[in-house]
Every structure is written in C-alpha cells, then in structure tokens.
Amino acid sequence: MACALPRTGPDASLIDVHGRRISYLRISVTDRCDLRCRYCMAEQMTFLPRAALLSLEEIALIADRFIARGVSKIRLSGGEPLVRRDVVDLARRIGRHLGDGLDELTMTTNATRLADHADDLAAAGIRRINISLDSLDPERFRFITRHGDLARVLGGIAAAKAAGLAVKINMVALKGLNDAEIPDMLAWCGEQGFDLSLIETMPLGAIDEDRADRFVPLTAVFDDLSRRFTLSRDAHRTGGPARYWRVGEFGTRLGLISPLTDNFCDGCNRMRLTTEGHLYMCLGHEDRVDLKAALREGGIGALDAAIDAALGHKPLRHDFRIDSASPAVARHMSVTGG
C-alpha cells in the first residue's frame, strides 16, 4: 500500500465549510463491548462481522493522513477498545507521531481490561485516559452495565494511576438511577486526584428503555453541586466538548458535556472514524464518507479526496431531542466511538 506522503498546498489543512479547523480525530477501533450499558446498547446486539472492519494497519495509515493534514489529537475508543486484539500495537504506531505533529494520544475505556494493559499504553505514549464509570455502588453498577464487575474496573483504574496515566472519569447522569450519587462521585474523584466529566444521555441508537425517563439536565445537577462544593470556572480545554469548573475542595476539575441543554457545536473541531471505515462529520447526523473504500480502491490520493468531501459536508450543529419518539440517529454510540 502506498505510503502516507506529506501533503502541501492551500487545501492541505482540515477546514470545514463553516470555517472550523478540524484538529481532533476520534477512532472507534471496534463496535464490540464486554458491557451492555443500558443507556448505550440494547441487551441483545448484532455487531459487525470482522471482515467488515478496517485492519489496524489501515487505521494507522488513515491516522497518518489526518496528522499530516493538521490533526493534533487522536482518541482511541470503541465499543471497548481493549477487546480488540493488538490495539496496543496500534497505539504504539500512532504514538510515534507524538512531538512530530501529534500533541496527544488518548483512550476511552470501561477499564475492565485496563489492569492488563495500563503499563503498555503508557509506554506507547498515552498520558491521559478517560474511564466510563457510572456508579461506585457494586449492585447499581452491575444493573447499569447489565453484568459489570465494579471491583475489576476499580482495579483497572488503580493500575492506570500506578502507570502514571492521568485519569478522567466519565459519568452519564441518569435520573432515578445514579443522579443522587453524583456528589459522592465528585468527592471520590477529588480524593483520588481525578477529574470528573458528567454527560447528558444522548439519543443514539435504539435501546430497551425510554431515554427520556432517565434524562437529567446538567443545569440542575450543576446548581445542586454548587451548593455542596466550591466551583469556579476553569479555562482548561482538552479539545472535546466539556466545559470545566475547578473544584476548590480538591483542586480537581468538573466537566459538563451537555449536548441537549447547552449546544456546544459552534466550535466543533472533531470528526469520528468508525471501525468499518466510515468518517462521520457529526455525532448527531448520518452523513458520512467511506474512507475504507477510498483507501482500498484508490490509495492515499483517493483517501485525501474523500476527506476533502467530508469537510464540505460537515453540518453546523446536531439536532438532538430527548423527547423524540425515535433516536436522532440509528447507530449506537459504540459504532461511532466516544
């Protein structure tokens, strides 16, 4: 396969039709997951056949092109990325660009397998990791994930901390399920030295429950937390959609990701690559381009042309509505990546 030569000229940079510079690529390395979180997946899921997936070499080549064209941050995600064999090798391959076009390589994981891989991920160049954790109560955690083992996840978190990885906890706020636990989660994260990001549930893919029944507006959550903790606005940004506050009692940060109550699309700098090679320009739209077909049929030149086409079709914003009878898009979050 042709090597990824640098591209030059006025069209090299990733500027979308609205004038936004794309500097952040999220890559889903698999749609499979070893948990079945109720807000994310149906209990019975049909996953892509392995033959439909990009090879890790193809993912690395696509990452090369995005870095050559100005992407400075890449996040590996899933599904659960650590269920894919040799994903650490992919991290090493992409990590070679750190300091040479790439500023940061990160991963989002549920931490069920993190204890086995934390040291290798750190050696590959990952310095920060996001961990999905929606409860610190073992039974509640098992209910939300359908069969998850909290002790195993906490062991993975401890391994990440021991490996020197900065940890950020991602918690989806769920009414009547874990919303009363949010202050305790913030305090636990502070005691551990972890940042916490709270996330509104998003209408992605059909699930077995009504998301509207579980939706918690983060405006109300923030008001409650403000009465319990000393929160001051923090200018910290990670390249993602979270808006941050400093937690005075601990010196850690609270992030809010609120796609429904506070649309954050104006400054969007992201695209998402699925494990089957589709490049989505927006989490909330179905428009996509097929980078796998472009790469396999036309090599690097066709890949660049497909990326250019994607830039011309990136929408201005999503149109999420939690009260709609059907999800905003048919695909589940595990397909597009977190």
**Which residues sit in the known binding site?**
26, 33, 37, 39-40, 75, 79, 108, 132, 168, 202, 265, 268, 270-272, 282
Cβ-Cβ contacts under 8 Å for 133 (sequence gap 6 or more): 110, 111, 141, 153, 157, 169, 170, 171, 185
Q: How big is the chain, counted in residues?
A: 338
Residues 75, 29 contacting (CB under 8 angstroms): no
CA distance 244 to 253: 6
CB-facing half-sphere around the CA of 92: CA atoms within 13 A: 8
Distance, in Å, from the CA atom of 262 to the CA atom of 255, rounded to the nearest integer, reads 13
3-state helix, strand, coil in the chain (%, to 5): 35, 20, 45
Residue 166's Cβ-count burial label (10 Å; 0-12, 13-18, 19+) is middle
CB atoms near residue 160 (< 10 Å):
27
Which H or E run includes 214?
A: helix 211-214
Instruction: Please tell me the distance from the alpha carbon of residue 167 to that of residue 130, in angstroms, as a whole number.
Output: 6
State the binding site for [4Fe-4S] cluster: 33, 37, 40, 265, 268, 282
What is the maximum alpha-carbon separation in the chain? 58
Please give the annotated binding residues for GTP, written as ranges.
Answer: 26, 75, 108, 168, 270-272
- Taking the C-alpha atoms of residue 310 and residue 305, their distance in angstroms, rounded to an integer, is 9
> Under 8 Å CB-to-CB from 19, ≥6 apart: which residues?
none
List the binding residues for S-adenosyl-L-methionine.
39, 79, 132, 202
Distance CA 261, CA 267 (A): 16
